[in-house]
Chain A
Amino acid sequence: MITAENLTKIYDNGAKGVDHLSLRIDDGEFVFIVGTSGSGKTTLVKLLLKEVEPTEGKLLVNGDDLSLLTRSQMPYYRRRMGVVFQDFRLLPNKTVYENVAFAMQIVGASNREIRRSVPSVLAWVGLARKAKAYPNQLSGGEQQRTALARAIVNKPPLLIADEPTGNLDPDTAWDIVTLLEDINDRGTTVVVATHAKEIVDSMKKRVVTLKNGVILRDIEKGGYRDES
Chain B
Amino acid sequence: MNLRNTTYAIQEAFRSLIKNRLMTIASVITLAGCLFIVSISYCIASNIDYLLFQMESLLSITVYISQDSSSEDVNNLVKLIRDIPHVSNVEYISSEDALAQFRENLGDSSHILDGLESDNPLPRSFVLDIETLGYWDYVVNRLDELKGEGIDTIKHGKQAVNILITINNVLRVICVIIIAGLGIISIVIIFNTIKLAVNSRKTEINIMKYVGATDAFIRWPFIIEGMIIGVLGAMVPTFLIHTVYTPAIELVKNSLSILDFDFRTRAYIFTILIPLLGILGVFIGVLGSVTSIRQHLNV
- Which residue numbers of A lie inside 8 Å of B, CB to CB? 49, 51, 72, 75-79, 83, 89-93, 102-103, 105-108, 110-111, 150
Are A78 and B4 also in contact (CB < 8 A) when A92-B204, A93-B19, A106-B217 are? no
Q: Is the CB of A89 within 8 A of B207?
A: yes
Is B8 an interface residue, CB under 8 A from the partner? yes
At the interface with chain A, which of B34-42, B104-112, B136-144, B208-216? B208-216
A51 vs B217: C-alpha distance in the bound complex, in angstroms? 19
Q: Is the CB of B211 within 8 A of A102?
A: yes
> Looking at the complex, which one of A78, A90, A111 makes contact with B212 (CB distance below 8 Å)?
A78
Is B295 an interface residue, CB under 8 A from the partner? no
A89 vs B21: C-alpha distance in the bound complex, in angstroms? 23
Residues of chain B lying within 8 A (CB to CB) of residue A90: 207
CB distance from A34 to the nearest CB of B (A): 23
CB distance from B22 to the nearest CB of A (A): 14
Q: Is the CB of B2 within 8 A of A108?
A: yes
A109 vs B5: C-alpha distance in the bound complex, in angstroms? 10
Interface size on B, residues (CB 8 A): 21
Secondary structure type dominating chain B contacts: helix
Are A78 and B211 also in contact (CB < 8 A) when A93-B19, A93-B204 are? yes
A111 vs B5: C-alpha distance in the bound complex, in angstroms? 11
Q: Is the CB of B210 within 8 A of A89?
A: yes
Chain B residue at minimal CB-CB distance from A104: B211
Residues of chain B lying within 8 A (CB to CB) of residue A110: 4
Q: Is the CB of B210 within 8 A of A106?
A: no
A105 vs B2: C-alpha distance in the bound complex, in angstroms? 12
- Which residue numbers of B lie inside 8 Å of A, CB to CB? 2, 4-5, 8, 15-16, 19, 203-204, 206-215, 217, 299
Are A75 and B207 also in contact (CB < 8 A) when A108-B2, A108-B4, A110-B4 are? no
A103 vs B4: C-alpha distance in the bound complex, in angstroms? 14
Chain B residue at minimal CB-CB distance from A78: B212
Are A75 and B214 also in contact (CB < 8 A) when A90-B207, A92-B204, A93-B19 are? yes
Q: Which of B206, B212, B214 has the most CB of A within 10 A?
A: B212
Residues of chain A lying within 8 A (CB to CB) of residue B4: 105, 108, 110-111
Residues of chain B lying within 8 A (CB to CB) of residue A108: 2, 4-5
CB distance from A51 to the nearest CB of B (A): 7
A78 vs B217: C-alpha distance in the bound complex, in angstroms? 14
Chain A residue at minimal CB-CB distance from B211: A103
Q: Is the CB of B211 within 8 A of A106?
A: yes
A77 vs B213: C-alpha distance in the bound complex, in angstroms? 10
CB distance from A119 to the nearest CB of B (A): 19
Q: Is the CB of A51 within 8 A of B212?
A: no
A89 vs B207: C-alpha distance in the bound complex, in angstroms? 6
14 contacts between A and B (CB under 8 A): A49-B210, A51-B299, A72-B214, A75-B209, A75-B213, A77-B212, A83-B211, A89-B206, A89-B210, A91-B207, A103-B212, A105-B8, A106-B212, A111-B4
CB distance from B34 to the nearest CB of A (A): 29
CB distance from A87 to the nearest CB of B (A): 10
Q: Which of B15, B203, B207 has the most CB of A within 10 A?
A: B207
